[in-house]
Amino acid sequence: MTPSPAALSVGALIAVIVVSCTTRINVGLLAIPLAWAAGRYAGLPADTVLAGFPSSLFVTLAGVTILFTLAEANGTVGVLVRRLFSTPLGSGRLVPLLIFFIACAISTVGPGAIVSVAIVAPVAMAIGMRAGLPVFLLALMVANGANAGNLSPLSAVGIIANTRMAAAGLGGHEWKVWAANFLAHCLVGLVAYLLLAGKGTPAAALTIEERPASLTRHQWITLVIVGLWVAGVLAFRLPIGLSAFAAAAMMILARAASDTDAIRRMPWAAILMVCGMTMLVALVEKTGGMEVFTRLLAALANPTTINGVIAFVTGLISTYSSTSAVVLPTFLPTVPGLVQQVGGGDPLAVALSINIGASLVDVSPLSTLGALCVAAVADPESSRELFRRLMLWGLSMTVVGALLCQLFANAFARL
C-alpha cells in the first residue's frame, strides 16, 4: 500500500526525532533533504518547500547570538561574572543561591542557557568547592539557574518558543512563557538546595580574595550598546533580530570586538538544527501530516491529563535530544490540533507544559548544559559521579515536570 504524502512526511519527522535521540548527527542536515524529498513525493515544487525555511527566525537567532558572541569574545561577560562573585558572600550556604540567580540573570538578558553555563560553571565550581559545597548541588544550581532565564523573549530559545507559539495562534504571552519556566526551575532549584546544601562541609564564611579585572574601554562600550539594545527591544518594541544586528555592527565599527573571531564562534550547528527542523515541520504542515502527528499524540491523553502527558513526552524526548532545535519546533505547532483532538484543554497551558517539560530535564549530562557542568569538574572520579547523578536527576525531571504541569499549568495560564 502506497503511503499518503501526509503519512510519509510524518514518518520523516519521526525518523529525524529518533536520529536526534540516538546519534550526534546534526539533524538539521537530515531535515532539509527529507523535507525536499517528502515535498517532491507530495508533488510540491522546490520553491514551496523552500518557503518553509524560517528566514525571519534565522535573522533573529543569528542577530542575538552574534551580539552576545561579540560580548563574550571580548571578555565583557566573563569580567562581569567574576565581579559578581567578588563581593563578600557571608555564609557559604548562600553561595548556591547566588550561583543560581547569576546564571539566571545572564541567561535572561540574551545569551541564553548554554552561554550562561559555559561562563558561570567553571567559576561557580571553583568558588563552591572552596566553600565545601557538593559538586552535584553546584551543577544543579548552575544548570537550573541558566535554564530559569532561558525562555526570556531576549534569548535564542525564548525566541524559538515564542515564534512557534505565535505561528500556532498563541502569540503575545512572551513574559508569561518566561515566568512559568522561571518559577518551575526556582521550585526545583529550591528543593535541590534544601536536600543537598547541608551535605557538604561549608566554610563559616567565604570571601573572594582575587581582585577581578576592571572593565576596559571596549568592554564599557559593549555594555552601553547591549544596554541600549535591551532598552530598545523592551521599551520601543524594536525587532529583536534586526536591532541585534544593528547593535553588533555598532560594536564592530567601534572596534570593541572582532567580527572574525565572533563569527567563528557562532553556534552555527544549533542554528542549522533549528532552521532545518522548522523547515521539515512546515513541510509536514503543508502535506497535512501535522493532523496525523497530532492524532498520534492525542491517543496518549485526554482533556484531564493532557498537560501532564505532553510534559512527560516532551521531557523524555528532550533528555536525549535538543530542546530548542527538535522538541520545541516540533511539538509547539501541534498545540491547537492536539487540544481539538483530545476534546478539551487550554492551548496556552499545553504550550507552557511543552516548554517546561522539555526544559526541566536539560540538566542531564546528555544535554549541553549538563555536559558543560561535568566538564567544569577537574577530578575524574568526581566528574564520573556527577555524570551519573545528573543523569538520574534529569530522568526524574520527566516525572517532576509532568506533575508540575498537571497540577499548575491550567491555573497559571489563566492568570
Gap between the Cα atoms of 137 and 98, Å rounded: 13
Q: Is the pLDDT higher at 368 or at 276?
A: 276
Q: What is the pLDDT of residue 205?
A: 46
pLDDT reported for residue 72? 84
Return the pLDDT at 119. Answer: 82
Mean pLDDT of all residues belonging to the chain: 89
Calpha distance 307→301 (Å, rounded): 9
**Is 183 within the bounds of a domain?**
no
pTM, rounded to two decimals: 0.86
- Looking up cell 542577530 gives 63
DSSP string, 131-200: TT--HHHHHHHHHHHHHHTTT-TTSHHHHHHHHHHHHTT--S-HHHHHHHHHHHHHHHHHHHHHHHGGGS
Within a domain: residue 261? no
16 within a domain of the structure (yes/no)? yes
Q: How confident is the model at residue 90 (pLDDT cuts 50, 70, 90)?
A: very low
The predicted-structure confidence for 32-56, as pLDDT tens digits, reads as follows 999 999 999 999 999 999 999 999 9
Tell me the Cα Rg of the chain.
21
Average of per-residue pLDDT across 351-361: 96
The residue whose grid cell reads 514551496 is 48
Inside any domain, residue 150: no
Would 38 be classed as within a structural domain?
A: yes
Say whether pLDDT at 132 is over 90: no
In degrees, rounded to 5, the angle at the alpha carbon of residue 190 between the alpha carbons of residues 347 and 94 is 140
**Upper half-sphere CA count for residue 171 (Cβ side, 13 Å):** 7
- Tell whether 350 is covered by a domain: no
Q: How many CB atoms lie within 10 A of CB 217?
A: 10
Closest CA to 98 of 118, 75, 128: 128
Q: Domain tally for the chain?
A: 1
Distances (CA, A) of 218 to 71, 214, 231: 10, 11, 20
Say if residue 41 is exposed, middle or buried (CB neighbours under 10 Å; 0-12, 13-18, 19+): middle
| Sequence-distant (≥ 6) Cβ neighbours of residue 87 within 8 angstroms | 208
- What are the tens digits of pLDDT across the range 391-408? 999 999 999 999 999 999
Cα–Cα distance for residue pair 230/110, rounded to 1 Å: 9
Answer whether residue 8 is part of any domain.
Answer: yes
In the predicted model, what is the mean pLDDT of residues 246-271?
91
Residue 47 domain flag: yes
Closest CA to 34 of 292, 164, 42, 325: 42
**CA nearest 152: which of 105, 222, 84, 221?**
105
Task: Quote the domain boundaries for residue 28.
Answer: 1-51+267-288
